[in-house]
């Protein structure tokens, strides 16, 4: 009889044991895919808010709330204390720091007013790529502004309109700022103009630095060095944002793989034990097959084929369920509609890896069980009841 045909017959005959074996593989593979993609989704959500403005770290000085009516300096909804702009050169002296970009963000009642250096087009509170109408700011601009699209619609502002925040500014551009941009403001103007017109007159002052590091691997180290050298500063990194964001599963990919591989090993051992039970149940049958001419190789091949088919079925089902579960987790991670699924999708390579692990589990479990079957002596096996 054809090994595959025989294997299918045995799978149908022993439905309960087959279902248990397949279920174990399905759980292992779907868990692997879900955990790994959850880790990738979490890591993506930790970096997107800062990557959207081309930075790795936000640095600021803390300070008490300003008296009501005077306005206040803010960083990511936290109150901050202005510091001398020349300190950015000191920040750039840190080995891990590639660039420090000045920002002066001010809030008066419900409005947020931000001063930027227009020459910084890679790292900034708002980038040229966000312009949807008009133009971006120029370094020599004075009393002109670019405004957020939603604010423009709310206040019925268009290009050429005048917007007021401590002074009148002509609207020269409208920006559509992504929801992931944590530096979102209503009005953006040249940094020097902000320093001149605010009631506090913060000439030469800024209240935050956007820090770009020389490598993603040095972000934590750079943040630690900056806070150590300037004890009054605080830093915000992607991982800091993740800790305060709702709906984030905090697990890294290395941990996810470790958990998944451990679960796969347990599944292999469980399946092997089940297959050993299968061999024990078929001792007499195997003895008869060997008596009529089946070699040890035939027996091994048959049991491995059965186990491999179970692994294939479990792997396919596991990949399907893993895709569904991972997509759901990615959709919910991040706290916004669409979550991490907007930035990362289920990796087809990972699905392939899951299927290979399932097939490998089937082969290994089959081999472990077939060793015992091959050692059976036909006469003793036939006498077994």
Length of the chain equals: 385
Same domain as 310, residue 357: yes
Distance between CA atoms of 139 and 120, rounded to whole angstroms?
A: 9
- CB contact set of 347 (below 8 Å; sequence gap of 6+): 36, 37, 40
SS3 370: helix
Residue 216, classified by CB atoms within 10 Å of its CB into exposed (0-12), middle (13-18) or buried (19+), is exposed
> What is the full DSSP assignment across 147-174?
EEHHHHHHHT--TT-EEESSSEEEEEEE
Number of structural domains the chain divides into: 2
Say if residues 257 and 33 touch (Cβ distance below 8 Å): no
Domain end residue (candidates: 236, 256, 277): 236
> What six digits make up the tokens of 162?
């005048």
Do 117 and 208 fall into the same domain? yes
Decide if 242 is inside a domain: no
- Alpha-carbon distances of 175 from 131, 136, 160, rounded to whole Å: 4, 9, 14
Last residue of a domain, one of 214, 236, 258: 236
Same domain, 289 and 345: yes
When pLDDT is averaged across residues 110-129 and rounded to a whole number, the result is 92
Quick check: 264 pLDDT over 60?
Answer: yes
- Considering the entire predicted model, what is its pTM? 0.63
Report, as an integer, the average pLDDT of 228-243.
Answer: 82
User: Looking at the structure, do residues 201 and 305 belong to the same domain, yes or no?
Assistant: no
pLDDT of residue 73: 77
Q: Is 100 helix (H, G, I), strand (E, B) or coil?
A: strand
- The predicted pLDDT at position 266 comes to 79
Phi, psi of 326 (to 5 degrees): -65, -40
- The token pair at 198 is 């605010």
| Lowest-confidence region among 21-35, 44-58, 130-144, 303-317 | 44-58
Work out the angle at residue 124's Cα, subtended by the Cα atoms of residues 119 and 223, and round it to the nearest 5 degrees. Answer: 120
SS3 269: helix
* 159 vs 163: CA distance, rounded Å: 10
Segment holding 305, helix H or strand E: helix 296-332
Shared domain check, 69 and 44: no
Residue 268 Cα to chain centre, angstroms: 29
| Greatest Cα-to-Cα distance within the chain, rounded to the nearest angstrom | 102
Q: Give me the helices (H) in 166-252, please.
A: 191-197, 219-229, 238-244
Q: Check pLDDT > 90 for residue 31.
A: no
Phi, psi of 216 (to 5 degrees): -60, -25
Tell whether 124 and 208 lie within a shared domain. yes
Q: Around Cβ 183, how many Cβ atoms within 10 Å?
A: 24
Q: Domain range for residue 63?
A: 57-236
pLDDT-based confidence at residue 173 (cuts at 50, 70, 90):
very high
Assigned token pair, 94: 């840190």
Say if residue 201 is in the same domain as residue 157: yes
Pair (261, 334) in one structural domain: yes
In a shared domain, residues 311 and 379: yes
Q: Are both 199 and 269 inside the same structural domain? A: no
Residue 149 — very low, low, confident or very high, per pLDDT cuts 50/70/90? Answer: very high
pLDDT for residue 217: 82
Same structural domain for residues 171 and 230? yes
| Last-in-domain residue among 211, 236, 261 | 236
Residue 241 included in any domain: no
Q: Are residues 17 and 109 in the same domain?
A: no
Mean residue pLDDT of the chain comes to 81
pLDDT digits (tens, 9 = 90+) for 279-334: 656 666 666 666 666 666 676 777 778 888 888 998 999 999 999 998 888 887 76
Q: Identify any residues that bridge with 283 across adjacent strands, giving them in sequence order.
A: none
Residue 243 forms part of a structural domain: no
In this predicted structure, the answer to whether residue 263 has a pLDDT above a threshold of 80 is no
């Amino acid at each position: 009889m054809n090994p595959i045909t025989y294997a299918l017959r045995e799978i149908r005959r022993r439905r309960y044991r087959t279902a248990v074996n397949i279920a174990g593989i399905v759980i292992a593979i779907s868990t692997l895919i879900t955990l790994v993609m959850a880790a990738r989704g979490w890591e993506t959500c930790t970096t997107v808010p800062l990557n959207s403005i081309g930075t790795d770290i936000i640095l600021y000085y803390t300070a008490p709330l300003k008296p009501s009516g005077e306005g206040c300096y803010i960083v990511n909804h936290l109150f901050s204390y202005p510091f001398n702009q020349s300190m950015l050169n000191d920040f750039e002296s840190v080995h891990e720091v590639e660039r420090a970009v000045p920002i002066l963000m001010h809030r008066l009642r419900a409005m947020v007013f931000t001063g930027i250096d227009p020459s910084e087009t890679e790292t900034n509170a708002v980038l040229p790529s966000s312009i949807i109408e008009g133009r971006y700011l120029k370094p020599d601009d004075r009393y002109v502004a670019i405004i957020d699209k939603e604010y423009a619609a709310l206040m019925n502002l268009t290009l050429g309109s005048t917007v007021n925040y401590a002074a009148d500014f002509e609207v020269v551009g409208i920006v559509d700022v992504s929801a992931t941009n944590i530096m979102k403001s209503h009005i953006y103007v040249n940094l020097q103009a902000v320093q001149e017109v605010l009631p506090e007159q913060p000439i030469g002052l800024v209240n935050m630095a956007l820090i770009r590091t020389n490598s993603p691997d040095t972000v934590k180290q750079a943040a630690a060095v900056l806070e150590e050298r300037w004890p009054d500063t605080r830093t915000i990194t992607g991982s800091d944002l993740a800790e305060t964001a709702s709906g984030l599963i905090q697990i890294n990919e290395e941990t996810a793989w470790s958990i998944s591989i451990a679960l796969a090993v347990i599944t292999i051992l469980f399946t092997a034990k089940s297959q050993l039970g299968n061999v024990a149940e078929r001792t007499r049958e195997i003895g008869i097959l060997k008596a009529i001419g089946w070699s040890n190789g035939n027996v091994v091949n048959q049991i491995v084929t059965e186990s491999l088919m179970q692994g294939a079925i479990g792997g396919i089902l596991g990949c399907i369920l893993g895709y569904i579960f991972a997509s759901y987790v990615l959709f919910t991670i991040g706290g916004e509609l669409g979550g991490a699924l907007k930035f990362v999708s289920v990796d087809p390579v990972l699905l392939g890896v899951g299927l290979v692990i399932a097939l490998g589990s089937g082969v290994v479990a089959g081999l472990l069980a077939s060793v015992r079957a091959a050692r059976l002596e036909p006469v003793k096996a036939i006498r077994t009841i």
